[in-house]
Amino acid sequence: MVDHLFREEAGKMTAILIRLFGLGNAELADDIVQETFITAMKKWPLKGVPENPSAWLMKVAKNKALNVVKRERMIREKSSSIPGINKDEAAIDNMFDQQEVKDTQLSMLFTCCYPEIKEREQLILILKILGGFSNAEIGSALLIEPEAVKKAFYRARVKIKNHYTELPELNREETQRRADTVLKAIYLLFNEGYKTSFADDLINADLCYTALRLAHLMTSITLEDSGRTHALLALMYFQSARFPARSGEQAEVLDLKDQDRSKWNRDLINKGFNHLMKSRNSKELSRYHLESTIASAHVQARSFAETDWKLICSCYKKLMMVEPSALIELNYVVALSYLYGAEFGLKKIESIEDSEIKAKQYFLWAAKAEMNVRLGRFGLAKSYYQVACDHAQSSFDKNYLRRKMEECDLNNLSQN
Amino acid sequence: MLLLFDNEDAYKQMSPEDYQEEIEAHGKWIEELGGHFDTGEALEFPSKTVRGEEKIVTDGPFLETKELVGGFYIINAESLEHAAELAKGCPTLRLGGNIEIREVMAM
């Protein structure tokens, strides 16, 4: 079986079943998906994995769905909360058809990204309806309690209920505008996974995989500006290519400059460049164009020293115009420090208001620390890392920063 | 014959990836059994029971038990002990299920 097959199929089945049963009956959809998997789990080992596992699962889920509709029709005809109650067998059959499945997923994706719904809730909806993730998995990926996932899902569901009818019919202009929200959600989904996806944390790598899958789905609709979707795909492929090199032997996080570049996945890098080419037909540069170009500069460099910082700096400069934020400014300054030296970087970093960085303050302090390391001021660097550590929230980040402090101590010793 | 009493509660807690892993684990176990494996069937829920002379039909299993027979395997073994040894590799145990081993009468 292909990796992630069940996760992907769970996403597809849930999307169709929710379309059939309505968002209010999401639990019913969950139950059917689960029963379908249990059936597969019992049969396949004995009878062999079917030739087309995906079609097999769809068929079983469809039969179970048909049974539910028939039963529902018998008990309460008119008062049913199931929108698909009046669909005949052929219509339901059609919903499970391959092309229709694709359309359903897309329309669900747009549904999850209604502007009224908060970004965080959008992610939860996407993961539940299209991703095939359980509450517990979503909780562990987004660092919240499963119960909080359930509540957020419920809240978002109520908000949608008033808007959701059938497939959202959108005009050209609206499709593009809404597509931007969808792309942003996919981008956030990927970043959530990317932040914490290390060797032993499969769920978060799955978030990244799901983001890629959904972005591919987005390429199948006609958009005014399809280049943006390709730019986002390029970005995600370049980042994914670096996964295998991001952690060391003790599963510790490795900085870009310490990574073994031979471990980067060439296949994914090539895919990235393929989409980067396709992204060029856009009339205007989006953040995805700029970020993917930055990522392409990193994956193209044979060593950290050979990085094209000039290109990277010019991208960050443009990015500051497209999407101004203190965090991007910080990244810009870090890039500048590699082009013009750490001393220059330290001077520039002073102009960034740390109050604007808010939750990510530790990045600012860690960047200051790192520049001082490069200048051989290990004592000062260590105290900056300490401040960074105080601001860091996850134990994951804290461990990384503590390790950096130890490195400063070691360097200090050998210096004296 | 290995009668598999599945732990249905465990099934309900599983994620899609877990199901996929479980299928792969079962497939691997059957492969490991090699020539010892004969056949098997998975059984549907729910069940019905017909009781005694009155032939009363009720829903659910004969015994009031949370565990239901979810399927069975027929394997070739030299003895009950040997069969028990072989059964130890069955992935259903990891999920809190139980296996009853019975010998099919020879004649």
pLDDT value at residue A213: 93
pLDDT band at A102 (very low <50, low <70, confident <90, very high): confident
With cut-offs at 50, 70 and 90, classify the pLDDT of residue A303.
very high
Q: Which residue, chain included where needed, has tokens 């060797």?
A: A199
Mean residue pLDDT across chain A: 86
**A243 — pLDDT class (breaks 50, 70, 90):** confident
3-state secondary structure of B68: strand
Which of A37, A43, A202 is closest, CB to CB, to B16? A37
**Confidence label for A73 from pLDDT (cuts 50, 70 and 90):** confident
pLDDT tens profile A214-235: 999 999 887 778 899 999 999 9
- The nearest alpha carbon in chain A to B7 belongs to A38
- C-alpha to C-alpha distances, A209 to A2, A144, A202, A214, nearest whole angstrom: 13, 21, 10, 9
Name residues whose C-beta falls within 8 Å of residue A309's C-beta, 6 or more positions apart in sequence.
A335, A338, A339
Is the CB of residue A385 less than 8 Å from the CB of residue A363? Answer: no
Cα three-residue angle A100-A103-A108, rounded to 5 degrees: 125
**Secondary structure class of A34 (helix, strand, coil):** helix
Contact B23 A1 (CB under 8 A): yes
pLDDT, tens only, A8-67: 999 999 999 988 888 888 888 989 999 999 999 988 988 888 999 999 999 999 999 999
pLDDT per residue over A319-360, tens digit each?
A: 999 988 888 999 999 999 999 999 999 999 988 876 667 667
Residue A84 has pLDDT above 60, yes or no: yes
Q: What is the pLDDT of residue A234?
A: 97
ipTM of this predicted structure: 0.84
Give the chain A residue whose CA is nearest to the CA of B24.
A45
Instruction: pLDDT band for A197, please (50, 70, 90 cuts).
Output: very low
Q: Which of B14, B20, B42 sits opposite A46 (nearest CB)?
A: B42
Residues of A in contact with B26 (CB under 8 A): 41, 44-45
Among the partner residues A5, A10, A45, nearest to B26 by beta-carbon distance:
A45
* Pairwise CB contact (< 8 Å): B15 & A137: yes
Q: Contact, B9 vs A34, CB < 8 A?
A: no
pLDDT digits (tens, 9 = 90+) for A362-394: 889 999 999 999 999 999 999 999 999 998 877
